[in-house]
Chains A and B, each alone.
Chain A
Amino acid sequence: MTQLSLTDTDTSAEAEPQPDERREAWAARLADSLGDGYAEHHIIGGSDLWVRVARDSWTDAATAARDLLGCQFFDWLSAIDWLPSPFGRDMDAQEDNPEPKAADPMEQGHAGGETRFQMVMRLYSITEHMGLTIKADLPDGDLSIDTLIGVYPGADWHEREAWEMFGIHFNNHPDLRNIYLPGEFEGNPLRKDFPLLARRVKPWPGIVDVELFPGEEDS
């Protein structure tokens, strides 16, 4: 196994930013239709498209993607908490963790953003065979956004999940209840400041099994 993994076939192609006209066109059409609600986009050529919109344009973006871009297929919806974990690498095995690292500054991913919580949804066009990811910033003081049920009825359960996992409120959602967690559960598990108690009680020993061979450098 080792000898195979050390063969020198380097298939990782040098990533050059290649132009992607179809995705550019999609982004342009969305920008046209949303106007001020459109924030920015990010394209990885031949691979994927990210678009960030204002919170108020969230449903408009979905409608536009469905009607203008032909994204009939509702893939999924969720959120991202960009807060660096306040527990640092405390969650790892203690051997790896001689001194707690200072928390990184908060840093949003593709298509930028300013806030800690970002909504993400993924839509797909079954005719173009192309998908896009739409994001929207949620201000810290007011974690709420309009529901997508009117556009995609399938958003119902995904929004319930985001509600219980991140505590994001969906305006006009008819039935915002817990979907996975028991009704009396407190807290929002997927927030970064929600501790994984199992790890607090007993550190995970598994992290040590990637220790270096003697003389090998951490790449």
Chain B
Amino acid sequence: MTAVGADQRQQLAYVATQAADARLNVEIETEGMTLNIGPQHPATHGTLRLVARLDGEQVVEAEPIMGYMHRGYEKLAEVRTYPQVTTLINRIDWLGSFANEVPFILAAEKLMEVEAPPRAQWIRTVLFELSRIANITLFLGDMAVQLGALTPVFMAFRDREFVLNQIEAATGGRFHPNFDRIGGLKDDLPKGWIDDTKQVMEKMRDFCDEFEELVLGNEIFEARTRGIGIVPADVGLSYGLSGANIRASGVDWDLRRDGHEALAYDQVDWKVWTHPDGDSFARYWVRLQETREATHIVDQLLDGLPSGPIMAKVPRIIKVPAGEAYAATENPLGEMGYYVVSKGDLVPFRVKIRSASFSNISITPWLLKGVYVPDIITILASLYFILGDIDR
């Protein structure tokens, strides 16, 4: 743990930027080089574009430009019935699709004043955590490959497959389950699924142990991530950073524990992981611990799964009463919320999608000042974004 305080860090970053600026303009009469990173660049997971003004290898300023994949979900949701909207929002964070559906369904349930039966809530939570594991597993491998280590990403893909298989077995969809319904779930769990999932959770714990040694224990990985991209807690909060990104800055806040949504997290025993450093290493560390914690959550939930129906009584044609509701959950990438305005019609009047990556990435212009080019990649990778989650 570094002894440098948050203020000092900010000051250091500021001084570095000033120095870079001074070199650019005074010392040698050089022009800064503008480097276009993306929209087609292996480190941008899709189509994020980053325009960076460089002084040698040092970034003077960097600005993300997005919209290459903007699909206008907020507009499209206004002409789709509530059940149809879940098909769309599956594609926001496409690595943890099921987790996208849940907050929207919860918002709609709030407006309709129905609550899913306990069994549905528990299965929802299980699938939610499985999405998280599938999603974060890929991050754990991908971050390593961004730093140049080729091998971990293959292990991540290999082990993620087990989780995806379980999601597919339960929902029928590997990536886009579209399984959540207002008032419950589409189906109950298939036979034998619980035992299989427990075995998979065992594997995922091994995977986490392996990565803790393989990646976190690697000196070069530490050298590349320690002290890089430090986000002080207050700055992070004012930029709207959420999820593991803010927990890595020492903020003990997790919507799974602190939110009041109808999910089964309060029924199991688990821990919110935080790290005081706020750098890229901390973000990786927190995510790794959370993945392992998620496997424990799933195990406990499967042990205590209540019996009963999986659908509350809801009308066949869903008309949501007029009103406004905001529901947010702790998605793999951070807080995802839906602000749903209804006018009592078949379709929502307005849906505001609060996606985690959009806010998480909005800190990058602040964060990238004064870093080196390779650190751009480290920081972007450690902030972990999914393009669909930024562009919506």
Contacts and interface: CB of A to CB of B under 8 A. Distances in A.
Query: Do the two chains belong together in a single complex?
Result: yes
Interface of A: 1, 4-13, 15, 46-48, 50, 72-76, 78, 80-81, 84-85, 91-92, 104, 107, 109-110, 120, 122, 126, 129, 131, 133, 151-154, 156-157, 165, 178-182, 189-190, 194, 196, 199, 204, 206-207, 210, 212-213, 216, 218-219
Given A74-B239, A152-B238, A157 B358 contact: yes
B312 A9 contact: yes
Nearest to A46: B260
Given A75-B335, A76-B240, A133-B326, A207 B350 contact: no
B363 interface: yes
B83 to A, nearest CB: 8
B258 to A, nearest CB: 4
Given A104-B343, A190-B75, A218 B312 contact: no
B278 interface: no
Interface string B311-324: 11111111100111
B206 interface: no
Interface stretch (B94-102, B106-114, B123-131): B106-114
A74 B362 CA distance: 12
A201 to B, nearest CB: 13
A146 B253 CA distance: 30
B67 A109 contact: no
A84 B363 CA distance: 36
A219 B315 contact: yes
B192 interface: no
Most chain B CB inside 10 Å of its own CB: which residue of A5, A81, A199: A5
Given A7-B309, A11-B115, A74-B239, A196 B75 contact: yes
Contact of A4 (B66, B78, B112, B310): B310
Contacts of B242: 73
A107 B358 CA distance: 30
Given A75-B354, A107-B322, A133-B326, 16 more contacts: A7-B313, A9-B312, A12-B114, A73-B237, A73-B253, A75-B335, A76-B339, A110-B323, A122-B339, A181-B70, A190-B74, A190-B75, A196-B75, A196-B76, A207-B346, A218-B317
8 contacts: A7-B313, A11-B115, A12-B112, A91-B79, A131-B326, A133-B339, A157-B358, A181-B70
B114 to A, nearest CB: 4
B311 A7 contact: yes
B84 interface: yes
B251 A48 contact: no
B343 A107 contact: yes
B339 A210 contact: no
Given A4-B188, A74-B238, A156-B362, A110 B316 contact: no
Contacts of A153: 235, 238-239, 366
A5 B314 contact: yes
A50 B74 CA distance: 21
A11 B117 contact: yes
Contact of B66 (A6, A85, A154, A179): A179
A194 B79 CA distance: 13
Contacts of A178: 67
Given A109-B324, A154-B362, A180-B66, A73 B314 contact: no
A110 B311 contact: no
A13 B117 CA distance: 12
Contacts of B251: 126
Interface in B101-148: 110, 112-117
Contacts of B359: 74, 76, 154, 157
Contacts of A213: 316
Given A9-B309, A109-B323, A126 B317 contact: no
Contact of B186 (A1, A104, A152, A179): A1
B70 A180 contact: yes
Contacts of B67: 178-182
A9 B313 contact: yes
